[in-house]
Structure 1
Amino acid sequence: MSGKNLELLLLLLLLHALPLDGSMWAAQLDLLPGATYAPTLYGFGDRVEDWAAEALKLPRGNQVIVVGCSVGGSCALEVAALAPERVAGLVLIGTKAARRSDPAFHATAVKALREQGLESAWREWWEPAFSTAASPAIIARARRILMRQPLEDVVLGVEAFHTRQSRDDVLSTFSGPVHMVTGADDVLPGLATSSKQADMAPNGCLHVIPECGHYVPMERPEALNSTIRQLIDQIAT
């Protein structure tokens, strides 16, 4: 089968970060037209494992490239754990495969969200995750995405994030290509962790995006799109 025909069989599954939704991937939707899925995950359940199981039902095919940002990357690893034979490759953006349990912060975060609301959480947790070089228009768009989410959906997302499994085991055994992406200015999880994870994956590589924070798909979409196209070409040849 030619590379072009194989590319037509590829599907792209895009899994969003907290506290956003599937619309954060607006700049990536045309990478595989008609074969790209960008669901909003909160309605799929209260665990990352539930999100992965439901998200996996969307693409009807066995050559799925899964791209996840932050907790969406954790969900991508769960997809690979559930159906490694269907996952052709992974792009993990600002993702930490290992989870360190922190029940006190978990409880504090949920309490703060419910008592102080989304605006306060945005200013304290999520706005600072953007690079200082990020366009104010992009940051404002991200805030608008957050503010249209029901509060309890964001709480559910925080709960899912704090109760996710450690998935070093998936990262270290997945045989397909893994493209680890980090903004140079991202500290969540940061360059050192992303580099270690790229080395951990049997077929891993690291992409560092300059002047970029945690939300690479929105901050530097052209750089991320180049990486995803590289993976598409890698699989299609």
Structure 2
Amino acid sequence: MIASPASRPQPKSDPELLLLHALPLDGSMWAKQMHLLPDATYAPSLYCAGDTLHAWARAALEPVKGDNIIVVGCSVGGSCALEVAMIAPERVSSLVLIGTKARHRPDPAFHARALRVIEKDGLEAAWETYWAPLFSRATSAAVVDQAKRMALPHLPGEIARGVSVFHTRPSRDDCLSAFPGRVTIVSGADDVAPGPKISASQAEATLDGHLRIIPECGHYVPLERPGALNRILAEVIAAQRREPRTR
């Protein structure tokens, strides 16, 4: 469970960044964020970590050393960030959730359909069906092509596992509303999954929520608008350095 504000000690260590990737990408999607905290940034690729979000979260935490972790996740990576906060509440000081929906209602038919597309039609067909439409129309074709080149080298079984982790993830809206640290909710203005409206309602439900809507941007903010995201992350890092968590 998330610790109560009064029971959470102040962090002793310097901030660290844990960056958790979206489907069907991997840790390389964070290339333009890796410089923000040199030697204290981790961007694991999680497809081989297990078949549950809990297993992904445990694997993501393994290399991180301190107790002042800023966990940043995009899409299923944001869901994994919430799971990290459930596993190690005494170590997570701040969450940045990008294109993330904390509440989950399983859709077995959608899940099964996505797995069939991957198995029968291949990753390229799945890319065009499920993930390419999540980019903003304002995003350059070069950026979309770059993301596609990240996705397609993966084995179909790896992405299918990620799809199943996404569709079987627990609902964590209770974690979102109880987390006592800073929560920054980021959405592209053109995102449809979950989009600005749901993102705003999630920010309102937190104890210390901050909403950031990025114009002319879709679901994959780290790729589509890296400069805007880096300014947000720099703000979060500065806040953790300036005001150690006491809540």
- TM-score scaled by length of structure 1: 0.96
2:163 pairs with one of 154, 158, 165 = 158
SS at match of 1:178: strand
After superposition, the C-alpha distances for 1:108-143 in whole angstroms (9 at most, x for unaligned) are 111111001001011111011000010111101100
Say if 1:97 and 1:168, in contact at 8 Å, map to a contact too.
yes
Alignment partner of 1:75 is 2:59: no
1:8-87 counterparts in 2 under 5 A? Answer: 9-87=14-92
Cα distance, 1:35 vs structure 2: 0.5
Map of 1:101 onto structure 2: 106
SS at match of 1:43: coil
SS at match of 2:48: helix
Alpha-carbon distance in structure 2 between the residues aligned to 1:21 and 1:121: 16
Map of 1:221 onto structure 2: 226
Partner amino acid, structure 1, of 2:130: W
* % identical aligned pairs: 55
Map of 2:175 onto structure 1: 170
In proportion to residue count, which structure has more helix?
1
Alignment partner of 1:143 is 2:148: yes
Alpha-carbon distance in structure 1 between the residues aligned to 2:196 and 2:55: 29
Say if 1:94 and 1:183, in contact at 8 Å, map to a contact too.
yes
Alpha-carbon distance in structure 2 between the residues aligned to 1:104 and 1:8: 45
Partner amino acid, structure 2, of 1:130: F
Cα distance, 1:51 vs structure 2: 0.3
Map of 1:128 onto structure 2: 133
Map of 1:3 onto structure 2: none
Alignment partner of 1:180 is 2:185: yes
After superposition, the C-alpha distances for 1:133-171 in whole angstroms (9 at most, x for unaligned) are 101111011000011111100000000000000000110
Task: Report the aligned-residue RMSD.
Answer: 1.1
Structure 1 unaligned runs (5+)?
A: 1-5
- TM-score scaled by length of structure 2: 0.92
Paired residues, number: 232
Partner amino acid, structure 2, of 1:44: A
Partner amino acid, structure 1, of 2:83: E
Alpha-carbon distance in structure 2 between the residues aligned to 1:13 and 1:204: 19
Say if 2:67 and 2:92, in contact at 8 Å, map to a contact too.
yes
Partner amino acid, structure 1, of 2:67: N
Structure 2 unaligned runs (5+)?
A: 1-10, 243-247
After superposition, the C-alpha distances for 1:14-54 in whole angstroms (9 at most, x for unaligned) are 00000000000000000000100000010110111110011
Partner amino acid, structure 2, of 1:29: M
Partner amino acid, structure 2, of 1:160: V
2:202 pairs with one of 197, 200, 203 = 197
Partner amino acid, structure 1, of 2:118: L
Say if 2:14 and 2:241, in contact at 8 Å, map to a contact too.
no
SS at match of 2:230: helix
Partner amino acid, structure 2, of 1:42: Y
Alpha-carbon distance in structure 2 between the residues aligned to 1:81 and 1:227: 24
Say if 1:7 and 1:236, in contact at 8 Å, map to a contact too.
no
Map of 2:117 onto structure 1: 112
Cα distance, 1:8 vs structure 2: 7.5
After superposition, the C-alpha distances for 1:82-118 in whole angstroms (9 at most, x for unaligned) are 1111001000000000111111111111111100100
Say if 1:47 and 1:164, in contact at 8 Å, map to a contact too.
yes
Say if 1:17 and 1:69, in contact at 8 Å, map to a contact too.
yes
